[in-house]
Structure 1
Amino acid sequence: MKPQTQRYLDLAVPGYNAWWRYVLGALLIAGAWLGFGMVPYALLSGANIFDPRLDFIAINLSIFVMLGGLAVTMKWLHRRPLLSLITPGARIDWRRVWRGAAVWLAIAAALSVLEFLLFRDRFYLSFDAARFAPFLLLVLLLTPLQAATEELVFRGYAMQAFGRLTRDPAMIAILSSVVFTAPHLLNPEVHEHGVLLMAANYFAIGMLLATITLRDGRLELAVGLHAANNVFLALLVNYEGSALMTESIFTARELDPYYSLMALVGGALVFHWWVFRPARDVDYPRGGAV
Protein backbone atom coordinates (compact mmCIF):
# COMPACT_ATOMS: atom_id res chain seq x y z
CA MET A 1 0.00 0.00 0.00
CA LYS A 2 1.33 3.42 -0.95
CA PRO A 3 2.06 5.82 1.94
CA GLN A 4 -0.50 8.37 0.74
CA THR A 5 -3.18 5.66 0.50
CA GLN A 6 -2.47 4.46 4.02
CA ARG A 7 -2.44 8.03 5.32
CA TYR A 8 -5.87 8.68 3.81
CA LEU A 9 -7.42 5.50 5.21
CA ASP A 10 -5.83 6.17 8.60
CA LEU A 11 -7.68 9.48 8.89
CA ALA A 12 -10.41 7.35 10.47
CA VAL A 13 -8.11 6.16 13.29
CA PRO A 14 -8.59 9.11 15.70
CA GLY A 15 -12.36 8.58 15.65
CA TYR A 16 -14.61 5.86 17.04
CA ASN A 17 -14.54 2.91 14.66
CA ALA A 18 -16.53 0.01 16.14
CA TRP A 19 -18.26 -1.94 13.38
CA TRP A 20 -21.73 -1.11 14.66
CA ARG A 21 -21.01 2.61 14.29
CA TYR A 22 -20.46 2.19 10.55
CA VAL A 23 -23.59 0.05 10.21
CA LEU A 24 -25.64 2.64 12.09
CA GLY A 25 -23.97 5.44 10.15
CA ALA A 26 -24.86 3.82 6.83
CA LEU A 27 -28.45 3.44 8.00
CA LEU A 28 -28.59 7.09 9.09
CA ILE A 29 -27.24 8.31 5.75
CA ALA A 30 -29.53 6.06 3.72
CA GLY A 31 -32.47 6.89 5.97
CA ALA A 32 -31.87 10.62 5.56
CA TRP A 33 -31.86 10.21 1.78
CA LEU A 34 -34.86 7.88 1.53
CA GLY A 35 -36.85 9.24 4.46
CA PHE A 36 -36.34 12.98 4.07
CA GLY A 37 -34.51 13.59 0.83
CA MET A 38 -37.19 12.07 -1.37
CA VAL A 39 -39.94 14.21 0.17
CA PRO A 40 -39.45 17.27 -2.09
CA TYR A 41 -39.14 15.05 -5.15
CA ALA A 42 -42.31 13.14 -4.25
CA LEU A 43 -44.23 16.36 -3.63
CA LEU A 44 -43.21 17.88 -6.94
CA SER A 45 -43.87 14.65 -8.83
CA GLY A 46 -47.31 14.38 -7.26
CA ALA A 47 -48.18 17.91 -8.33
CA ASN A 48 -48.34 16.85 -11.99
CA ILE A 49 -46.13 19.77 -12.97
CA PHE A 50 -43.66 18.93 -15.71
CA ASP A 51 -40.81 21.37 -15.34
CA PRO A 52 -37.25 20.10 -15.82
CA ARG A 53 -35.98 22.85 -13.53
CA LEU A 54 -38.19 21.71 -10.65
CA ASP A 55 -37.16 18.09 -11.22
CA PHE A 56 -33.52 19.13 -11.25
CA ILE A 57 -33.85 21.05 -7.98
CA ALA A 58 -35.82 18.26 -6.30
CA ILE A 59 -33.37 15.51 -7.24
CA ASN A 60 -30.41 17.57 -6.06
CA LEU A 61 -32.14 18.46 -2.79
CA SER A 62 -32.79 14.78 -2.15
CA ILE A 63 -29.06 14.12 -2.44
CA PHE A 64 -28.08 17.10 -0.28
CA VAL A 65 -30.03 15.59 2.61
CA MET A 66 -27.49 12.75 2.61
CA LEU A 67 -24.88 15.34 3.56
CA GLY A 68 -26.89 16.17 6.67
CA GLY A 69 -27.07 12.50 7.59
CA LEU A 70 -23.33 12.17 7.01
CA ALA A 71 -22.56 15.24 9.13
CA VAL A 72 -24.59 13.84 12.04
CA THR A 73 -22.90 10.47 11.62
CA MET A 74 -19.41 11.93 11.64
CA LYS A 75 -20.02 14.26 14.59
CA TRP A 76 -21.98 12.01 16.93
CA LEU A 77 -20.99 8.47 15.94
CA HIS A 78 -17.36 8.80 14.87
CA ARG A 79 -16.42 12.04 16.65
CA ARG A 80 -14.29 13.42 13.85
CA PRO A 81 -14.69 16.27 11.33
CA LEU A 82 -15.98 16.00 7.78
CA LEU A 83 -12.59 17.28 6.62
CA SER A 84 -11.09 13.93 7.62
CA LEU A 85 -13.04 12.37 4.74
CA ILE A 86 -11.34 14.71 2.29
CA THR A 87 -7.72 15.35 3.10
CA PRO A 88 -4.92 14.75 5.62
CA GLY A 89 -4.09 18.44 5.29
CA ALA A 90 -5.44 21.36 7.27
CA ARG A 91 -7.66 22.58 4.45
CA ILE A 92 -9.08 21.58 1.07
CA ASP A 93 -6.66 21.76 -1.86
CA TRP A 94 -8.77 23.59 -4.44
CA ARG A 95 -6.06 23.28 -7.09
CA ARG A 96 -6.63 19.54 -7.06
CA VAL A 97 -10.37 20.02 -7.45
CA TRP A 98 -9.88 22.25 -10.49
CA ARG A 99 -7.23 19.95 -11.96
CA GLY A 100 -9.51 16.91 -11.71
CA ALA A 101 -12.34 18.89 -13.31
CA ALA A 102 -10.22 20.33 -16.13
CA VAL A 103 -8.60 17.02 -17.09
CA TRP A 104 -11.90 15.15 -17.15
CA LEU A 105 -13.66 17.91 -19.11
CA ALA A 106 -10.99 17.62 -21.78
CA ILE A 107 -11.34 13.82 -21.87
CA ALA A 108 -15.16 13.94 -21.92
CA ALA A 109 -15.15 16.50 -24.73
CA ALA A 110 -12.76 14.38 -26.82
CA LEU A 111 -14.84 11.24 -26.27
CA SER A 112 -18.03 13.09 -27.22
CA VAL A 113 -16.46 14.42 -30.42
CA LEU A 114 -15.33 10.88 -31.27
CA GLU A 115 -18.85 9.55 -30.68
CA PHE A 116 -20.27 12.29 -32.90
CA LEU A 117 -17.84 11.42 -35.70
CA LEU A 118 -18.74 7.74 -35.44
CA PHE A 119 -22.51 8.23 -35.07
CA ARG A 120 -23.42 11.55 -36.67
CA ASP A 121 -27.17 10.88 -36.73
CA ARG A 122 -27.25 10.29 -32.99
CA PHE A 123 -26.94 13.95 -31.96
CA TYR A 124 -28.98 17.08 -32.61
CA LEU A 125 -28.74 20.71 -31.54
CA SER A 126 -31.21 21.37 -28.72
CA PHE A 127 -29.98 24.76 -27.53
CA ASP A 128 -32.68 27.21 -26.45
CA ALA A 129 -31.16 30.37 -24.98
CA ALA A 130 -34.27 31.36 -23.02
CA ARG A 131 -34.43 27.98 -21.29
CA PHE A 132 -30.68 27.40 -21.09
CA ALA A 133 -29.82 30.57 -19.14
CA PRO A 134 -31.72 29.76 -15.91
CA PHE A 135 -30.60 26.13 -16.12
CA LEU A 136 -26.99 27.25 -16.40
CA LEU A 137 -27.21 28.97 -13.02
CA LEU A 138 -28.89 25.98 -11.38
CA VAL A 139 -26.36 23.51 -12.75
CA LEU A 140 -23.31 25.56 -11.76
CA LEU A 141 -24.72 26.10 -8.27
CA LEU A 142 -26.19 22.70 -7.42
CA THR A 143 -24.22 20.13 -9.40
CA PRO A 144 -20.82 20.61 -7.71
CA LEU A 145 -22.52 20.33 -4.31
CA GLN A 146 -24.34 17.18 -5.41
CA ALA A 147 -21.12 15.63 -6.71
CA ALA A 148 -19.20 16.56 -3.56
CA THR A 149 -21.91 15.00 -1.39
CA GLU A 150 -21.74 11.72 -3.30
CA GLU A 151 -17.95 11.69 -3.07
CA LEU A 152 -18.01 12.29 0.67
CA VAL A 153 -20.43 9.39 1.11
CA PHE A 154 -19.32 6.81 -1.46
CA ARG A 155 -15.58 7.46 -1.60
CA GLY A 156 -14.78 9.19 1.68
CA TYR A 157 -17.00 7.46 4.23
CA ALA A 158 -17.39 4.11 2.47
CA MET A 159 -13.70 3.62 1.66
CA GLN A 160 -12.52 4.61 5.12
CA ALA A 161 -15.11 2.21 6.55
CA PHE A 162 -13.92 -0.65 4.34
CA GLY A 163 -10.37 0.35 5.23
CA ARG A 164 -11.09 -0.81 8.78
CA LEU A 165 -11.91 -4.29 7.42
CA THR A 166 -9.13 -4.75 4.86
CA ARG A 167 -5.92 -2.99 3.89
CA ASP A 168 -6.10 -4.19 0.28
CA PRO A 169 -6.66 -1.05 -1.86
CA ALA A 170 -8.13 -3.07 -4.74
CA MET A 171 -10.74 -4.67 -2.49
CA ILE A 172 -11.57 -1.30 -0.92
CA ALA A 173 -12.08 0.23 -4.37
CA ILE A 174 -14.26 -2.69 -5.50
CA LEU A 175 -16.45 -2.68 -2.39
CA SER A 176 -17.00 1.08 -2.48
CA SER A 177 -17.84 0.90 -6.19
CA VAL A 178 -20.44 -1.78 -5.53
CA VAL A 179 -22.03 0.48 -2.91
CA PHE A 180 -21.93 3.38 -5.39
CA THR A 181 -23.53 1.26 -8.11
CA ALA A 182 -26.46 0.04 -6.00
CA PRO A 183 -28.57 3.24 -5.74
CA HIS A 184 -27.86 4.14 -9.36
CA LEU A 185 -29.66 0.97 -10.43
CA LEU A 186 -32.88 2.88 -9.68
CA ASN A 187 -32.22 5.09 -12.73
CA PRO A 188 -34.58 4.67 -15.71
CA GLU A 189 -31.70 3.75 -18.03
CA VAL A 190 -31.44 0.41 -16.22
CA HIS A 191 -34.92 -0.65 -17.34
CA GLU A 192 -34.15 0.22 -20.95
CA HIS A 193 -30.66 -1.24 -21.31
CA GLY A 194 -30.59 -3.96 -18.67
CA VAL A 195 -29.15 -4.28 -15.19
CA LEU A 196 -25.81 -5.89 -16.05
CA LEU A 197 -24.79 -3.44 -18.75
CA MET A 198 -25.75 -0.31 -16.81
CA ALA A 199 -24.29 -1.72 -13.59
CA ALA A 200 -21.00 -2.15 -15.45
CA ASN A 201 -21.13 1.54 -16.45
CA TYR A 202 -21.83 2.75 -12.91
CA PHE A 203 -19.21 0.39 -11.50
CA ALA A 204 -16.62 1.66 -13.97
CA ILE A 205 -17.06 5.31 -13.00
CA GLY A 206 -17.07 4.26 -9.34
CA MET A 207 -13.76 2.44 -9.79
CA LEU A 208 -12.23 5.45 -11.52
CA LEU A 209 -13.22 7.75 -8.67
CA ALA A 210 -12.10 5.23 -6.03
CA THR A 211 -8.71 4.51 -7.58
CA ILE A 212 -7.75 8.15 -8.06
CA THR A 213 -8.73 8.87 -4.44
CA LEU A 214 -6.64 5.99 -3.11
CA ARG A 215 -3.74 6.75 -5.42
CA ASP A 216 -3.67 10.44 -4.51
CA GLY A 217 -4.45 9.88 -0.86
CA ARG A 218 -7.20 12.51 -0.76
CA LEU A 219 -10.64 13.24 -2.21
CA GLU A 220 -10.28 16.49 -4.15
CA LEU A 221 -9.46 15.00 -7.57
CA ALA A 222 -12.54 12.79 -7.40
CA VAL A 223 -14.77 15.71 -6.42
CA GLY A 224 -13.50 17.75 -9.35
CA LEU A 225 -13.88 14.87 -11.82
CA HIS A 226 -17.38 13.97 -10.63
CA ALA A 227 -18.58 17.57 -10.71
CA ALA A 228 -17.12 18.15 -14.18
CA ASN A 229 -18.70 14.96 -15.51
CA ASN A 230 -22.16 15.91 -14.28
CA VAL A 231 -21.88 19.53 -15.43
CA PHE A 232 -20.76 18.35 -18.88
CA LEU A 233 -23.75 16.01 -19.17
CA ALA A 234 -26.19 18.61 -17.87
CA LEU A 235 -25.08 21.54 -20.02
CA LEU A 236 -23.30 20.23 -23.10
CA VAL A 237 -24.39 16.73 -24.12
CA ASN A 238 -27.33 15.02 -22.44
CA TYR A 239 -29.42 12.19 -23.90
CA GLU A 240 -33.12 11.43 -24.25
CA GLY A 241 -34.52 9.41 -21.37
CA SER A 242 -31.80 10.53 -18.95
CA ALA A 243 -32.47 10.20 -15.22
CA LEU A 244 -31.85 13.94 -15.04
CA MET A 245 -33.27 15.82 -18.01
CA THR A 246 -31.67 19.22 -18.56
CA GLU A 247 -31.57 22.01 -21.15
CA SER A 248 -28.29 20.90 -22.74
CA ILE A 249 -26.78 22.42 -25.87
CA PHE A 250 -26.73 19.06 -27.65
CA THR A 251 -28.88 15.99 -27.06
CA ALA A 252 -28.28 12.40 -28.08
CA ARG A 253 -31.31 10.48 -29.28
CA GLU A 254 -30.24 7.52 -27.19
CA LEU A 255 -27.68 6.37 -24.68
CA ASP A 256 -25.23 3.86 -26.13
CA PRO A 257 -24.19 1.87 -23.04
CA TYR A 258 -21.54 -0.08 -24.95
CA TYR A 259 -19.78 3.03 -26.19
CA SER A 260 -20.24 4.62 -22.77
CA LEU A 261 -18.55 1.69 -21.03
CA MET A 262 -15.62 1.61 -23.45
CA ALA A 263 -15.28 5.39 -23.18
CA LEU A 264 -15.22 5.22 -19.38
CA VAL A 265 -12.50 2.58 -19.36
CA GLY A 266 -10.43 4.45 -21.94
CA GLY A 267 -11.03 7.78 -20.24
CA ALA A 268 -9.98 6.32 -16.88
CA LEU A 269 -6.68 5.12 -18.31
CA VAL A 270 -6.00 8.52 -19.86
CA PHE A 271 -6.92 10.34 -16.63
CA HIS A 272 -4.56 8.20 -14.55
CA TRP A 273 -1.75 8.70 -17.05
CA TRP A 274 -2.35 12.43 -17.36
CA VAL A 275 -2.62 13.26 -13.67
CA PHE A 276 -0.16 10.80 -12.15
CA ARG A 277 2.57 10.70 -14.81
CA PRO A 278 6.00 11.24 -13.21
CA ALA A 279 6.85 14.27 -15.36
CA ARG A 280 3.65 16.24 -14.68
CA ASP A 281 4.18 19.98 -14.80
CA VAL A 282 2.73 20.84 -11.39
CA ASP A 283 3.81 18.99 -8.28
CA TYR A 284 1.12 19.30 -5.64
CA PRO A 285 2.06 18.85 -1.98
CA ARG A 286 0.80 15.55 -0.61
CA GLY A 287 -0.30 16.50 2.86
CA GLY A 288 0.16 20.19 3.47
CA ALA A 289 -2.34 23.00 3.41
CA VAL A 290 -2.67 25.27 0.41
Structure 2
Amino acid sequence: MSYTVEERGDLHSLTYRLFYKNADGKVVSPFHDIPMYADEGQNIFHVVIEVPRWTNAKMEISTTEPLNPVKQDVKKGKVRYVANVFPHKGYIWNYGAIPQTWEDPTHKDPDTGHVGDNDPIDVCEIGSKVCSRGEVIKVKVLGILAMIDEGETDWKVIVINVDDPEAKDLNNISDVKRLKPGYLDATVDWFRRYKVPDGKPENQFGFNGEFKDKDFAIETIKTTNKFWKALISQQAKPGELNCMNTTISPEDSPCHVSVDQAKAIIEKVCLLIFWFYCLKLSVCVVCL
Protein backbone atom coordinates (compact mmCIF):
# COMPACT_ATOMS: atom_id res chain seq x y z
CA MET A 1 0.00 0.00 0.00
CA SER A 2 1.36 3.41 -0.97
CA TYR A 3 0.49 6.74 0.59
CA THR A 4 0.44 10.33 -0.59
CA VAL A 5 0.41 13.56 1.37
CA GLU A 6 -1.51 16.79 0.91
CA GLU A 7 -0.01 19.99 2.31
CA ARG A 8 -2.18 22.70 3.77
CA GLY A 9 -1.12 26.06 5.17
CA ASP A 10 2.33 27.65 5.09
CA LEU A 11 5.43 25.64 5.92
CA HIS A 12 7.07 26.64 9.22
CA SER A 13 3.93 28.40 10.41
CA LEU A 14 1.10 27.62 12.82
CA THR A 15 -1.16 26.81 9.86
CA TYR A 16 0.95 24.05 8.32
CA ARG A 17 -0.61 20.56 8.16
CA LEU A 18 0.26 17.43 6.19
CA PHE A 19 -2.72 15.13 5.61
CA TYR A 20 -2.54 11.55 4.29
CA LYS A 21 -4.35 9.52 1.65
CA ASN A 22 -3.95 5.86 0.77
CA ALA A 23 -3.61 4.37 -2.72
CA ASP A 24 -7.40 4.46 -3.14
CA GLY A 25 -7.49 8.20 -2.41
CA LYS A 26 -9.11 7.63 0.98
CA VAL A 27 -8.17 10.10 3.71
CA VAL A 28 -6.34 8.25 6.49
CA SER A 29 -4.74 8.95 9.84
CA PRO A 30 -0.96 8.29 9.91
CA PHE A 31 -1.37 7.40 13.60
CA HIS A 32 -4.25 4.93 13.29
CA ASP A 33 -4.89 3.89 9.67
CA ILE A 34 -1.45 3.08 8.27
CA PRO A 35 -0.71 -0.53 9.32
CA MET A 36 2.16 -1.10 11.71
CA TYR A 37 3.42 -3.97 9.58
CA ALA A 38 4.41 -3.70 5.94
CA ASP A 39 5.20 -7.44 6.02
CA GLU A 40 4.47 -9.16 9.33
CA GLY A 41 6.09 -12.43 8.30
CA GLN A 42 9.41 -10.69 7.66
CA ASN A 43 9.06 -8.23 10.56
CA ILE A 44 9.06 -5.28 8.14
CA PHE A 45 7.40 -2.19 9.61
CA HIS A 46 5.97 1.05 8.25
CA VAL A 47 7.49 4.32 9.43
CA VAL A 48 6.05 7.80 8.95
CA ILE A 49 8.95 10.23 8.45
CA GLU A 50 8.26 13.41 10.40
CA VAL A 51 11.71 15.06 10.22
CA PRO A 52 14.18 14.51 7.35
CA ARG A 53 17.84 14.15 8.27
CA TRP A 54 19.85 17.40 8.74
CA THR A 55 16.72 19.55 9.22
CA ASN A 56 15.78 21.38 12.41
CA ALA A 57 12.01 21.95 12.32
CA LYS A 58 10.39 19.80 15.01
CA MET A 59 7.66 18.16 12.95
CA GLU A 60 5.41 15.51 14.50
CA ILE A 61 2.19 13.57 14.07
CA SER A 62 -0.47 15.66 15.79
CA THR A 63 -1.98 13.06 18.11
CA THR A 64 -4.68 15.43 19.40
CA GLU A 65 -6.13 16.69 16.09
CA PRO A 66 -8.72 14.91 13.92
CA LEU A 67 -7.02 12.49 11.50
CA ASN A 68 -3.65 13.32 13.07
CA PRO A 69 -1.89 15.40 10.38
CA VAL A 70 1.83 16.08 10.64
CA LYS A 71 2.48 19.61 11.91
CA GLN A 72 5.29 21.60 13.46
CA ASP A 73 5.38 21.45 17.23
CA VAL A 74 4.49 24.69 19.00
CA LYS A 75 5.76 26.19 22.26
CA LYS A 76 4.51 29.48 23.69
CA GLY A 77 2.72 30.23 20.43
CA LYS A 78 5.78 29.77 18.22
CA VAL A 79 6.82 26.86 16.02
CA ARG A 80 9.70 24.85 17.43
CA TYR A 81 13.13 24.02 16.07
CA VAL A 82 15.91 21.93 17.60
CA ALA A 83 19.23 23.67 18.03
CA ASN A 84 22.43 22.62 16.31
CA VAL A 85 24.34 20.96 19.14
CA PHE A 86 27.99 20.79 18.11
CA PRO A 87 29.12 18.85 16.16
CA HIS A 88 25.64 17.85 14.95
CA LYS A 89 23.46 19.60 12.34
CA GLY A 90 19.75 19.23 13.06
CA TYR A 91 18.45 15.68 13.33
CA ILE A 92 21.22 13.21 12.44
CA TRP A 93 18.86 10.54 11.05
CA ASN A 94 15.50 10.50 9.31
CA TYR A 95 13.21 10.76 12.33
CA GLY A 96 9.66 9.48 12.56
CA ALA A 97 7.23 7.07 14.18
CA ILE A 98 5.74 3.63 13.72
CA PRO A 99 1.96 3.86 13.19
CA GLN A 100 -0.51 1.88 15.31
CA THR A 101 1.79 2.08 18.35
CA TRP A 102 1.31 4.02 21.59
CA GLU A 103 3.46 4.45 24.66
CA ASP A 104 0.78 4.26 27.36
CA PRO A 105 1.26 7.03 29.96
CA THR A 106 -0.43 4.88 32.63
CA HIS A 107 1.89 1.89 32.14
CA LYS A 108 5.16 1.77 34.08
CA ASP A 109 7.71 -0.06 31.98
CA PRO A 110 9.31 -2.89 33.99
CA ASP A 111 12.73 -2.26 32.42
CA THR A 112 12.91 1.53 32.75
CA GLY A 113 10.67 2.06 35.79
CA HIS A 114 8.92 4.96 34.04
CA VAL A 115 5.55 5.41 32.31
CA GLY A 116 5.15 5.94 28.56
CA ASP A 117 5.24 9.36 26.89
CA ASN A 118 1.72 9.22 25.32
CA ASP A 119 3.02 9.15 21.71
CA PRO A 120 3.60 6.62 18.94
CA ILE A 121 6.99 4.94 19.32
CA ASP A 122 9.83 7.00 17.81
CA VAL A 123 12.20 5.86 15.08
CA CYS A 124 15.67 6.82 13.85
CA GLU A 125 16.21 5.65 10.27
CA ILE A 126 19.95 5.43 9.60
CA GLY A 127 20.16 4.71 5.87
CA SER A 128 22.03 6.79 3.30
CA LYS A 129 18.98 8.50 1.75
CA VAL A 130 17.55 11.74 3.08
CA CYS A 131 13.80 11.10 3.19
CA SER A 132 11.03 13.57 2.44
CA ARG A 133 8.82 15.09 5.10
CA GLY A 134 5.74 12.88 5.50
CA GLU A 135 7.15 9.99 3.48
CA VAL A 136 5.98 6.51 4.48
CA ILE A 137 8.78 3.95 4.21
CA LYS A 138 9.26 0.24 4.94
CA VAL A 139 12.00 -0.61 7.40
CA LYS A 140 13.67 -3.44 9.23
CA VAL A 141 14.40 -3.04 12.92
CA LEU A 142 17.99 -3.15 14.20
CA GLY A 143 17.79 -2.19 17.87
CA ILE A 144 16.40 0.23 20.42
CA LEU A 145 17.48 2.88 22.94
CA ALA A 146 15.57 3.58 26.16
CA MET A 147 15.59 7.36 26.63
CA ILE A 148 14.10 8.82 29.80
CA ASP A 149 12.63 12.24 29.01
CA GLU A 150 11.42 14.24 32.02
CA GLY A 151 10.45 11.08 33.88
CA GLU A 152 8.81 9.32 30.92
CA THR A 153 9.95 6.34 28.85
CA ASP A 154 10.60 7.50 25.28
CA TRP A 155 11.87 4.55 23.23
CA LYS A 156 13.99 5.27 20.14
CA VAL A 157 13.93 2.41 17.61
CA ILE A 158 16.93 2.15 15.27
CA VAL A 159 15.87 1.03 11.78
CA ILE A 160 16.96 1.07 8.16
CA ASN A 161 14.88 1.50 5.02
CA VAL A 162 14.60 -1.88 3.28
CA ASP A 163 15.37 -0.16 -0.04
CA ASP A 164 18.61 1.38 1.21
CA PRO A 165 21.84 0.04 -0.36
CA GLU A 166 23.21 -0.63 3.14
CA ALA A 167 20.17 -2.62 4.29
CA LYS A 168 21.51 -6.01 3.19
CA ASP A 169 24.51 -5.63 5.52
CA LEU A 170 22.67 -4.26 8.57
CA ASN A 171 20.56 -6.85 10.38
CA ASN A 172 21.11 -6.15 14.07
CA ILE A 173 22.49 -3.43 16.31
CA SER A 174 25.89 -5.18 16.39
CA ASP A 175 26.16 -4.61 12.62
CA VAL A 176 25.63 -0.87 13.14
CA LYS A 177 28.43 -0.80 15.71
CA ARG A 178 30.73 -2.65 13.32
CA LEU A 179 29.92 -0.93 10.02
CA LYS A 180 28.99 2.57 11.22
CA PRO A 181 31.54 3.23 13.97
CA GLY A 182 30.62 6.19 16.14
CA TYR A 183 27.03 6.50 14.87
CA LEU A 184 25.39 4.98 17.94
CA ASP A 185 27.59 7.01 20.28
CA ALA A 186 26.58 10.13 18.35
CA THR A 187 22.92 9.12 18.68
CA VAL A 188 23.16 8.86 22.47
CA ASP A 189 25.07 12.16 22.60
CA TRP A 190 22.41 13.89 20.48
CA PHE A 191 19.49 12.68 22.56
CA ARG A 192 21.32 13.46 25.78
CA ARG A 193 22.00 17.10 24.92
CA TYR A 194 19.51 18.35 22.33
CA LYS A 195 17.24 20.06 24.88
CA VAL A 196 20.05 21.73 26.83
CA PRO A 197 20.04 24.88 24.61
CA ASP A 198 16.38 25.33 25.67
CA GLY A 199 17.43 25.47 29.30
CA LYS A 200 16.45 21.88 30.13
CA PRO A 201 18.66 19.27 31.82
CA GLU A 202 20.32 16.45 29.92
CA ASN A 203 18.13 13.44 29.19
CA GLN A 204 18.86 10.13 30.90
CA PHE A 205 18.76 6.55 29.59
CA GLY A 206 17.76 3.09 30.68
CA PHE A 207 20.32 0.26 30.50
CA ASN A 208 23.11 2.83 31.09
CA GLY A 209 22.64 4.15 27.57
CA GLU A 210 23.31 0.77 25.93
CA PHE A 211 21.29 -0.21 22.86
CA LYS A 212 19.19 -3.36 23.08
CA ASP A 213 19.15 -5.72 20.11
CA LYS A 214 16.68 -6.39 17.32
CA ASP A 215 14.62 -9.02 19.18
CA PHE A 216 14.20 -6.79 22.22
CA ALA A 217 13.20 -3.89 19.96
CA ILE A 218 10.57 -5.89 18.08
CA GLU A 219 8.99 -7.13 21.33
CA THR A 220 8.87 -3.54 22.60
CA ILE A 221 7.13 -2.42 19.40
CA LYS A 222 4.61 -5.25 19.72
CA THR A 223 3.86 -4.17 23.29
CA THR A 224 3.16 -0.60 22.17
CA ASN A 225 0.88 -2.00 19.46
CA LYS A 226 -1.15 -3.78 22.16
CA PHE A 227 -1.47 -0.49 24.00
CA TRP A 228 -2.63 1.16 20.75
CA LYS A 229 -5.28 -1.53 20.23
CA ALA A 230 -6.65 -0.74 23.68
CA LEU A 231 -6.60 2.97 22.78
CA ILE A 232 -8.34 2.68 19.40
CA SER A 233 -11.06 0.47 20.89
CA GLN A 234 -11.44 2.93 23.77
CA GLN A 235 -10.63 0.28 26.35
CA ALA A 236 -7.89 2.69 27.43
CA LYS A 237 -8.80 6.30 28.19
CA PRO A 238 -7.60 8.50 25.32
CA GLY A 239 -7.49 11.75 27.26
CA GLU A 240 -6.68 14.48 24.71
CA LEU A 241 -5.67 11.99 22.00
CA ASN A 242 -7.82 11.92 18.88
CA CYS A 243 -8.62 8.39 17.67
CA MET A 244 -10.58 9.34 14.54
CA ASN A 245 -9.89 6.88 11.72
CA THR A 246 -11.32 5.76 8.38
CA THR A 247 -10.12 2.15 8.02
CA ILE A 248 -10.63 0.49 11.41
CA SER A 249 -14.00 -1.26 11.49
CA PRO A 250 -16.71 0.47 13.58
CA GLU A 251 -16.93 -2.73 15.64
CA ASP A 252 -13.28 -2.32 16.65
CA SER A 253 -13.24 1.45 16.97
CA PRO A 254 -16.10 3.78 17.95
CA CYS A 255 -14.10 6.64 16.39
CA HIS A 256 -14.46 5.36 12.82
CA VAL A 257 -15.73 7.94 10.30
CA SER A 258 -16.68 7.71 6.63
CA VAL A 259 -14.50 9.08 3.83
CA ASP A 260 -16.95 11.94 3.23
CA GLN A 261 -16.96 12.80 6.92
CA ALA A 262 -13.17 12.76 6.94
CA LYS A 263 -12.95 15.16 3.98
CA ALA A 264 -15.41 17.54 5.61
CA ILE A 265 -13.51 17.41 8.88
CA ILE A 266 -10.23 18.28 7.16
CA GLU A 267 -11.79 21.32 5.49
CA LYS A 268 -13.28 22.44 8.79
CA VAL A 269 -10.03 21.94 10.70
CA CYS A 270 -8.00 23.84 8.11
CA LEU A 271 -10.51 26.71 8.13
CA LEU A 272 -10.45 26.92 11.92
CA ILE A 273 -6.64 26.92 11.94
CA PHE A 274 -6.60 29.65 9.29
CA TRP A 275 -8.98 31.86 11.27
CA PHE A 276 -7.10 31.25 14.50
CA TYR A 277 -3.83 32.19 12.83
CA CYS A 278 -5.34 35.39 11.44
CA LEU A 279 -6.67 36.36 14.86
CA LYS A 280 -3.31 35.47 16.42
CA LEU A 281 -1.60 37.91 14.10
CA SER A 282 -4.46 40.43 14.34
CA VAL A 283 -4.67 40.38 10.54
CA CYS A 284 -7.90 40.86 8.61
CA VAL A 285 -8.57 37.96 6.25
CA VAL A 286 -9.70 40.43 3.58
CA CYS A 287 -6.23 41.96 3.62
CA LEU A 288 -4.46 38.67 2.91
TM over 0.5: no
Name the TM-score, length of structure 1 as normaliser.
0.25
Q: Higher relative contact order by CA 8 Å / sep ≥ 6: 1 or 2? A: 1
More strand by share: 2
